[in-house]
Amino acid sequence: MTELLFRDDAYLKTATARVVAVRQGVVELDRTIFYPLGGGQPGDTGFLVRDNGERIAVTDTRKAGEPGGVAHHLAAGAALPETGESVGLEIDWDRRYALMRLHTALHVMSCVVIAPVTGGNIAPDKARLDFDIDITLLDADKISGGTNELIGRGVATETVWITDEELDARPELVKTMSVAPPRGAGRVRLLKIPGIDLQPCGGTHVANIAEIGGIKVLRIRNEGKRNKRVEIALRG
């Protein structure tokens, strides 16, 4: 089990941790600020910093084999730290913050386009949701206008935890059909944007939706019978 520091504070840019396992270019730590790929959000990149100042590039972060583990993938040929060693952690904050803004923007957009979500993905420069909807109902100006209007409310986001049983009793909370809610240890993490959205999500979000600034719709495309894709980017 790795302590997931980003769950309680998505704004941690640095931290210290202890190496608990090293194998084939992958390092596991007792705690981490690196988000592992999941829920459409890519894994973080950054550096492990050794006491001697040596910086080891982390090129990707994935969930490790056992539940709750996080695998920090190192650059090929990089020097490996030792098990038990204390290391500094630094994430590529500009990249992560862009991901947080776009990720939170998708939550807001999912409340403007009222349809089941069949897929989604987030990259540092753009993000998308796929909807099971008649494509003629998707209007770029309406989607960007409606989303930006909600962003303009500038409300603070909250993390809420409920039990698996509570989630089972409220199936309407699950909008995304392609991504199972992040269950585990009997409780589920929800992102709440008061007055706008409430849904299970294990990702990292901005503290206030005003930080998104605004979005623009890059394109709307037919990706299949149940996948009408809306791709967005941050405005400006």
Q: With CB under 5 A, what is the number of residues at the site for Zn ion?
A: 3
Nearer to Zn ion, 191 or 230 (CB): 191
CB of 14 to Zn ion, least distance (A): 23
In angstroms, the Cα distances linking 26 to 39, 82, 93, 166 are 22, 12, 21, 37
Helices (H) and strands (E) in the chain, counts: 4, 15
Shortest gap between Cβ of 177 and Zn ion (angstroms)?
15
Query: In angstroms, what is the minimal distance from the CB of 83 to Zn ion?
Result: 33
Piece of the chain touching Zn ion by CB under 5 A; list 1-9, 42-50, 114-122, 193-201: 193-201
Pick one of 138, 201, 206, 230: the residue that binds Zn ion (CB under 5 A): 201
* Cα three-residue angle 110-32-193, rounded to 5 degrees: 25
CB of 78 to Zn ion, least distance (A): 31
120 binds Zn ion (CB under 5 A): no
What are the helix (H) ranges across the chain? Answer: 5-8, 93-109, 140-151, 164-169
Q: Is 167 exposed, middle or buried (0-12, 13-18, 19+ CB in 10 A)?
A: middle
Taking CB under 5 A as the binding criterion, the range among 89-97, 126-134, 160-168, 202-210 that sits at the site for Zn ion is: 202-210
C-beta nearest to Zn ion: residue: 201
- The binder of Zn ion chosen from 36, 46, 181, 203 (CB under 5 A): 203
Compose the 73-112 pattern: x for residues touching Zn ion by CB under 5 A, - for all others. ----------------------------------------
Stretch of residues binding Zn ion (CB under 5 A), selected from 6-14, 81-89, 133-141, 191-199: 191-199
Quote the longest CA-to-CA distance of the chain: 59
Given the complex with Zn ion, which of 71 and 109 has the nearer CB atom? 109
Q: Ramachandran region of residue 47, left (φ > 0), alpha (ψ -120 to 50) or beta?
A: beta
> Closest Cα partner for 47 from 81, 6, 21, 24?
81
Q: What is the DSSP letter of 125?
A: S
Reported in sequence order, the residue ranges of 123-212 that DSSP labels E, i.e. its strands, are 127-131, 158-163, 187-193, 197-200
Binding part of the chain for Zn ion, among 7-15, 56-64, 187-195, 215-223 by CB under 5 A, reads: 187-195
Only segment of 15-23, 43-51, 143-151, 183-191 that touches Zn ion (CB under 5 A): 183-191
- Binding residues for Zn ion, per CB under 5 A? 191, 201, 203
